Structure 1
């Protein structure tokens, strides 16, 4: 398979490309291509790639990315990568302070998501080799360093895993608002939630809850529901629980 090495002209604020440097196995390239497809990334760059023919593991691991991302991948040199793109190199091993700038300062993928929105140059997210990642010499030529927080006991992640986690965290840079799941869409209307608070307050009166504690309890209930963003069905369910409890209360004289 051949790839073009002609630089691509792209508008400012385009989706970040994903670059893999000197991958040892075709399967990991396919895994990363699949993660790109999952999270809206489209441009795959390859520095010194392994064999990636259609009979390789790459196509077996790529899922639907075998139709576009993988066959359209572009091979280029590391020199071309760092000259053409604003580069963000990912590494598991970082420096803890500013005594060495090769692997410090670094940002988590979540932190990078905020900063990369302001970068107008073409951007590439760069992942290194399976065993040793990016070398110090390579990181010294990269613009920013990213790292995924992991256990100190075992911070090193598989190449495919680390790329998948990073691309998931950075998906907002690649997916439009219409493609991103709207987690707030299913939240109950404010009117429904306020009706529940009124019902809960009436319930406290009905069970003779101490009057001096009611305001504090209602405030705690409001804070709790405010954090959970209940759906309409959930609000209806707790309404039903209160109504069922009310039927069990003794009749007033």
Structure 2
């Protein structure tokens, strides 16, 4: 592992992308899995407290995918004392079981909550994950600035370390990835113009007349159609497609001689 370890007397600088810290992981494969999730969702800085041996030919690099090229070899080994003194820390835990009478595991946020708030935190930030078996201890959590927990079934809320990191980093991805930086196209929808939508509603009205829909029901039916399309926010192409279908239906081609 390479990189310069942060020291307790360094002044933190503003960070838009949190670091990811793993405390006392027992299995190299989980470190590799977390590195891979970081690569998937645009995180770069991996901090390791008391890590296992990470053999370049071993399990960690085997599980890391393309993160073996940068995230994993650039990981920094750091002590827990240095972590909590140099970063604004968010400790992830599956078990809360506390209310406002005790603040070791309370209050807590979900990863989705953090995604909304962390961009406003003007400090170096680290998302901290604990051991595979027991996670972060109460003594460690007591020194953490914030607590994060993933909503899960009360019957079995404990997630695998790699799963927990993957879910959390996925929820925080908007801090690291722009729409242009994902494999998905820009999903912004442009609603069809209101005049085009009015043509669609007029075409529906013509169809209701053509099929002899009961006259006393036409006004209510037309209103329902308007509400459905109003909620759907159809695009120009979608509206034009519906217009073509409705015109054909209104012309009743099956009745042509």
Q: Confirm or deny: 8 A CA contact 2:201 2:226 kept in the other structure.
A: no
| Cα deviation 1:215-243 (Å, max 9, x = unaligned) | 531343134413xxx45554454444434
Q: 2:20 maps to what in 1? A: 18
In 2: Cα distance, 1:68 partner to 1:194 partner: 55
CA RMSD of aligned residues (A): 2.7
- Alpha carbons 2:12, 2:86 under 8 Å: kept: no
| Correspondent of 1:184 among 165, 184, 187 | 187
Where in structure 1 are there 5+ consecutive unaligned residues?
Answer: none
Within-5 A mapping of 1:26-65:
26-65=28-67
| Cα distance, 1:117–1:90 mapped onto 2, change above 3 Å | same
Q: For the structure 1 residues 25 and 3, does the alpha-carbon distance in structure 2 shift closer, same or farther, using more than 3 Å as the test?
A: farther
Is there any run of 5+ residues in structure 2 with no aligned partner, and where?
none
From the superposition, tell whether residues 188 and 24 of structure 1 become closer, same or farther in structure 2 (CA, over 3 Å): same
Larger radius of gyration: 2
- TM-score calculated relative to the size of structure 2: 0.85
SS in 2 for 1:111: helix
The 8 Å contact of residues 39 and 174 in structure 1, kept in 2 or not, is answered as yes
Tell me if the contact between 1:16 and 1:174 (Cα under 8 Å) persists in the aligned partners. no
More displaced 10-residue stretch of structure 1: 149-158 or 171-180: 171-180
Residue of structure 2 aligned with 1:204, choices 204, 208, 211: 208
Give 1:5's aligned residue: 5
Q: Does 1:105 align with 2:107?
A: yes
Partner of 2:142: 140
| Shift, 1:117, TM fit | 1.2
Partner of 1:242: 246
2 CA distance for matches of 1:80 and 1:34?
A: 25
Q: How many pairs does the alignment contain?
A: 249
TM-score, normalised relative to structure 1? 0.86
